[in-house]
Homo-oligomer: A and B are copies of this chain.
């Protein structure tokens, strides 16, 4: 029904849809004998109706279905697990690549699930619009994946998290099509859009998403500040968040991450910058990237308010170069990992979020857990998303790889960090649950929460073909 050329059974095609991009995925792919599960076939439907038709066949033949978008999951979200099914397919949604409709008056665009970040911006750009969703996975990840995982972009302070942009969602399920979202807000029972968003392919295959869009910005202004230490930096970001003065991008590095930036960033005259900051009382700087996007009028107005508060908080302006160099390298992180892996480095990231009163303790505890598990390690941290009530914490870890047991080395560190997170924050702010975080979900949403998700899944997927072994 999708055409023979859209059912791939060759090894290369199947291997390409077998893993995501976590450090463990990269290790597995480099191993001489790849010992990870691989889908039995890759199926590429053309549109939502074909997705539904494929699901119907999979129900009849009891075949597991792993929805596949950009393949950028770092939590095992696209692992080709088959659960109790004899066979499993990767349902690659890349052919669902259309901008379905634009309602300029309501500022809503409907995009198909397989549209990648750059294509979404190009399609919307033709209408003078932008989505403004720029996570680090932007270049490869898809609209359906953003929705399925509750993604958050680097400009989430301005454009919102992905779930804030979702006004409607269309799914194919084993029980038939399901469409949600008729108004910007509703009191017609629980918001089931927020059940579909984050369901990670377990409650249906997201085929289309209706999204709040905005006019493409006329002006983009990015710049850097330095704060005197982590506590002062976090306080400054909290002040901005609680006074509705956040820039669209607001990203605070801790001292360790700032030192790495200073060491690696060729665009900065490091020695002169250190002297300049020290003369202004900033001896252990924490870099803060702030970026505004919009009309010239709005950017000027909002920038004035943000910088007024930043200066009152003791921030010293570093200038445009720092902001622009961050902006141009913003998607490069994942690509650099392969180089580091070649050099024998264990490199991975993990993230969480907490209420403000827990942020410092959470950062200390996760750092301590990682250092205790790994021994000598560089642990960097930044706040990438700030809210009135709290913030996210994003950790980057580098250490010498234990060549005897590289997988076990990271699994132990990750488990230690996850244990430190439980009780103080969420197991994931924007990476989702997948396989890796599933053991910690019950502690966060309660065993009743897990049972509610399972019950919801049973209602739409009674035979359990959808993404076996993920989320719950």
Contacts and interface: CB of A to CB of B under 8 A. Distances in A.
Interface of A: 103, 105-108, 149-152, 161, 163, 167, 173, 175-176, 178-180, 182-192, 194-200, 203, 212, 214, 238, 242-244, 298, 301, 305, 352-358, 385, 387-392, 424-433, 437, 440-441, 444-446, 448-449, 451-456, 458-460, 471-472
Contact of A183 (B178, B190, B200, B425): B425
A95 to B, nearest CB: 25
Task: State the 7 A-B residue pairs at the shortest beta-carbon distance, nearest first.
Answer: A184-B387, A194-B194, A455-B459, A186-B426, A183-B426, A150-B187, A106-B355
Contact of A105 (B105, B189, B356, B387): B356
Contacts of A455: 455-456, 458-459
Contacts of A391: 184
A453 B195 CA distance: 11
Contacts of A179: 446
A245 to B, nearest CB: 9
A396 to B, nearest CB: 18
A180 B190 CA distance: 15
A455 B461 CA distance: 12
A87 to B, nearest CB: 26
A355 B427 contact: no
B428 A178 contact: no
B173 A431 contact: no
A187 B356 contact: no
B301 A105 contact: no
A182 B460 CA distance: 28
B178 A446 contact: yes
Contacts of A105: 238, 356-357
Given A388-B212, A441-B188, A354 B182 contact: yes
Given A107-B242, A355-B167, A189 B198 contact: yes
B448 A186 contact: no
A59 to B, nearest CB: 14
A373 to B, nearest CB: 22
A347 B189 CA distance: 25
Given A107-B356, A108-B389, 5 more contacts: A188-B444, A190-B194, A190-B199, A191-B195, A448-B460
B453 A190 contact: yes
A184 B180 CA distance: 24
A262 to B, nearest CB: 30
B187 A449 contact: no
12 contacts: A151-B187, A163-B191, A182-B354, A182-B424, A186-B426, A188-B433, A188-B440, A188-B444, A189-B453, A190-B203, A301-B305, A448-B460
Contacts of A183: 352-355, 390, 425-426, 429
Contacts of A152: 185, 187
A161 B191 CA distance: 13
Nearest to A385: B185
Contacts of A242: 107
A187 B431 contact: yes
A184 B460 contact: no
Given A103-B355, A107-B388, A451-B459, A190 B196 contact: yes
Nearest to A362: B183
Nearest to A422: B182
B185 A190 contact: no
B103 A392 contact: no
Contact of A430 (B187, B451, B471): B187
A192 B108 contact: no
A217 to B, nearest CB: 13
A195 B446 CA distance: 14
Contacts of A472: 189
A163 B175 CA distance: 30
Given A192-B452, A429-B187, A451-B459, A446 B180 contact: yes
A28 B329 CA distance: 67
B459 A454 contact: yes
Nearest to A390: B184
Nearest to A352: B183
Contact of A176 (B385, B448, B456): B448
